[in-house]
Homo-oligomer: A and B are copies of this chain.
Amino acid sequence: METINIGIVGYGVVGAGVAKLLKLKKQLLEARTGALLNLKTIADIDIETDRGIELGETALVRDAMQVIDDPDIDIVVELIGGDTIAKDFTLKALENKKHVVTANKALLAGHGNELVRTARLNQVDLAFEASCGGCMPIIKSLRESLVANDINSMSAILNGTCNYILTKISQDGSEFEEVLKKAQELGFAEAEPSLDVDGHDTAHKLAILNSLAHGMEINLENIHVEGIRNITPVDIEFARDFGYTIKLLAISKIHDEHVEARVHPTMITKSNPLSHVDHSMNAIAIDADATGKTMLYGHGAGMMPTASAVLSDIADIARNIIAKTKRRVPILGYPEENIRPIPILPMAELFTRYYLRFEAQDHPGVLAKISGILGENQISIKSVHQKGRQSNGKVPVVMISHRAKELWVQTALSQIAATDSVVGEPVVIRIEEDEQD
């Protein structure tokens, strides 16, 4: 049986998970791939901490180059994270003609095009199933299962921390800061939560998926990103009254000349399967022309779910090595020469429906004033709601709009802010309309 040597760079939680699976599932993997998957070396700056994995013959070293420069190693698994040294190591490994498996969404979103070019130049594979949606087979589905489909749209819950926090606010009526604090205590949120709660992690994943879905260059910088810090129990309660749930969604929709790619809190109805995805679970809904609507659901993070996805990439590459082939499926689903830059629609050009909440002065004529400005900006209001009267002389006024242009909405909101009718910043949450199956 052919031996395939694997080296791991980055022995954190996921690194330990991958090592654990490679050891624990040795026989299963041999039977299923026909190869002996040998974990030769693990590199990490911390070689002291006991991860509880029986390493056996596997070397644990401090210098990543002992993996990357080892001529015996066929597959380098990059699990450091971030896009500084992880980038250098990944490029070096590709240049050394190693196949690379990575779970690093920040690296791919920021530098994926360069990595793909480098892999092509060196005729090796770059695999990243674990980068988006943890154990859900999103990458494989887009690259292989949906091979005969054009993807119309995707919408996805891709960050477990945000989904956990939104579920908790929704269930307990607590404020964001309070829930975040609890989530941090329970280990559901990082001490530095910005990457998650401000939507950047979701945007990284969307940049990757967008590229795979539409055959376009990876483009992170033009994705519009909003996080969940401003979501309050009040808005969740209003949403519920209207039959909506609020989720942080990554949305991608293809048009003739451009693609929509945006990350923001979104109201969806109960008939949208994503509305039932709670706690730290992830899901992606894909609407493709042959399949119609499909959805994948699963753990989007965590030691073993992420390790499972890494292993599926390792097994794929191992099967290629045994079959004496490589680069069997193009890295981004389309061959590199077919990948084109597709412009991302500027946010101001977006048409969608809006939930708007104002803290209005409790004076006669205020509603007329707000409605008037919206009307002047071509924004047609579907319904207006007012819930009680607050003690400080302000009343929350909620409006649901028909489809309107983001530019019109932002212009109207500035004009409304300049009047004395409202106080504070209005809350703007976009609504995804239901399409019938």
How far is A221 from B289 in the complex, measured between Cα atoms in Å?
Answer: 37
Q: Considering only CB atoms, which chain B residue lies closest to A324 in the complex?
A: B325
Of the candidates B134, B215, B308, B328, the one whose C-beta lies within 8 Å of that of A149 is B308
Closest approach, in angstroms, between the C-beta of A340 and any C-beta of chain B?
11
Of the candidates B140, B288, B323, B338, the one whose C-beta lies within 8 Å of that of A328 is B323
- The yes or no answer to A176 lying at the interface (CB within 8 A) is no
> Which B residues lie within 8 Å of A34 (CB)?
335
Closest approach, in angstroms, between the C-beta of A383 and any C-beta of chain B?
26
CB of A28 within 8 A of CB of B294, answer no
Q: Considering only CB atoms, which chain B residue lies closest to A308 in the complex?
A: B290
Q: How many copies make up the complex?
A: 2
CB of A295 within 8 A of CB of B297, answer yes
| A145-187 vs B, Cβ < 8 Å mask (1 yes, 0 no) | 1111110000000000000000000000000000000000000
Closest approach, in angstroms, between the C-beta of A287 and any C-beta of chain B?
11
Q: Considering only CB atoms, which chain B residue lies closest to A31 in the complex?
A: B338
Closest approach, in angstroms, between the C-beta of A115 and any C-beta of chain B?
20
> Which B residues lie within 8 Å of A25 (CB)?
148
How far is A282 from B25 in the complex, measured between Cα atoms in Å?
Answer: 31
- The yes or no answer to A137 lying at the interface (CB within 8 A) is yes
Interface size on A, residues (CB 8 A): 64
CB of B32 within 8 A of CB of A334, answer yes
A-B contact pairs, 24 of them (CB 8 A): A25-B148, A28-B148, A31-B335, A32-B330, A135-B290, A135-B292, A137-B140, A137-B141, A140-B141, A144-B316, A145-B309, A146-B308, A148-B308, A148-B311, A149-B308, A276-B276, A291-B298, A292-B305, A294-B296, A294-B298, A295-B297, A295-B298, A297-B297, A319-B328
Please give the residue numbers on chain A whose beta carbons come within 8 Å of chain B beta carbons, in ascending order.
17, 21, 25, 28-29, 31-34, 129, 134-137, 140-141, 144-150, 215, 273, 276-277, 279, 281, 288-299, 302, 304-305, 307-309, 311-312, 315-316, 319-320, 323-325, 328-330, 333-335, 338, 437
